Amino acid sequence: MQQILRGTVALVTGASSGIGAATATALAAQGAAVALAARRRDRLDTLAAEIKDQGGSALVLECDVTDQQQAAAAVDRTVTELGRLDTLINNAGVMLLGPAAGAPLDEWQQMVELNVLGLLYCAHAAVPHLLRAAADEPRQVADMVNISSVAGRAARNGNGVYALTKFGVGAFSESLRQELARQYVRVSLVEPGATATELASHNRPEVLAAIRNQFGQRMAAGDIADAITYIVTRPRHVAVNEMLIRPTEQER
């Protein structure tokens, strides 16, 4: 099989579980050397070992991307140790649901710090390297894929601050897409529906009990990884700007 991403380097944030882990594996299978960023080092070590067992190349970056210096250092280490940066998958995120009235403020802060600021810190540090990669062989194009959500398109009762963060990701992505388009850095937005990962498990027990029946059919993390892989393996003249993906039975 031809490996379309051979000779390129991808950084995946939130690579220790769910969509990020599946995406890192999928990009490595396409020949990209992958930098794996998240806080849980043991998970990253296990994933890196799996990728290496399959003939791939992986770098473990234990970091908290809500800390601007750690986010910038993750990008710097990727470039220093793997040589370049062609693809940033801005995936790390948290979803804490429930009524706004009486919500713990630290949950709101956590979502804004990770889903918005963490994504921005990584984007800011990565853009100069993506511009360099886009001007260079082997592909002369670079990619930033920002992971939003169905909640980035429609706010619902009980997801206000999560939706706020994902609407923001959509706005930033579209603006940056326009800014970088002529330099062949493609900025894409992926908006998954319900996907079986650890995401919901971080909610308070009372919220978990309330939302348990909301989620019917769910996709697998690999389904979203497929979509991301499709986006970053398009030929240079094709940019998939936005992709909304739901499980077939999910109505809204």
Ligand X SMILES: NC(=O)c1ccc[n+]([C@@H]2O[C@H](COP(=O)([O-])OP(=O)(O)OC[C@H]3O[C@@H](n4cnc5c(N)ncnc54)[C@H](OP(=O)(O)O)[C@@H]3O)[C@@H](O)[C@H]2O)c1
Nearer to ligand X, 13 or 25 (CB): 13
Q: Which stretch binds ligand X (CB under 6 A): 28-36, 38-46, 81-89, 181-189?
A: 38-46
Q: Does 13 interact with ligand X (rule: CB under 6 A)?
A: yes
Among 172, 186, 192, 232, binds ligand X (CB under 6 A): 192
Nearer to ligand X, 131 or 155 (CB): 155
Long-range contacts of 69-73 (CB under 8 A, 24+ apart): 71/118, 71/121, 71/122, 71/125, 72/121, 72/124, 72/125
Q: Please give the Cα distance from 119 to 176 (Å, whole number).
A: 13
Binding track, positions 42-81, relative to ligand X; x by CB under 6 A? -x--------------------xxx---------------
Q: Does 145 interact with ligand X (rule: CB under 6 A)?
A: no
Quickly list DSSP for 54-109. Answer: TT--EEEEE--TTSHHHHHHHHHHHHHHHS---EEEE-------S-STT--HHHHH
Among 5, 8, 16, 47, binds ligand X (CB under 6 A): 16
Q: Does 199 interact with ligand X (rule: CB under 6 A)?
A: yes
Q: Does 227 interact with ligand X (rule: CB under 6 A)?
A: no
Among 194, 207, 227, 232, binds ligand X (CB under 6 A): 194
Q: Does 95 interact with ligand X (rule: CB under 6 A)?
A: yes
Nearer to ligand X, 19 or 127 (CB): 19
Helix pair 119-134, 160-180: axis angle to 10 deg: 20
What contacts 44, CB < 8 A, 6 or more positions away? Answer: 15, 16, 36, 37, 38, 60, 61, 62
Q: Does 126 interact with ligand X (rule: CB under 6 A)?
A: no
Is residue 237 within 8 A of residue 199, CB to CB? The reply is no
Least distance (Å) between residue 106 CB and ligand X: 14
Phi-psi sector, 14: left (phi>0), alpha (psi -120 to 50), beta: left
Least distance (Å) between residue 153 CB and ligand X: 11
Q: Please give the Cα distance from 27 to 35 (Å, whole number).
A: 11
Q: Does 17 interact with ligand X (rule: CB under 6 A)?
A: yes
Q: Which residues bind ligand X (CB under 6 A)?
A: 13-20, 38-40, 43, 64-66, 91-95, 114, 118, 147, 149, 192, 194-195, 197-199, 221
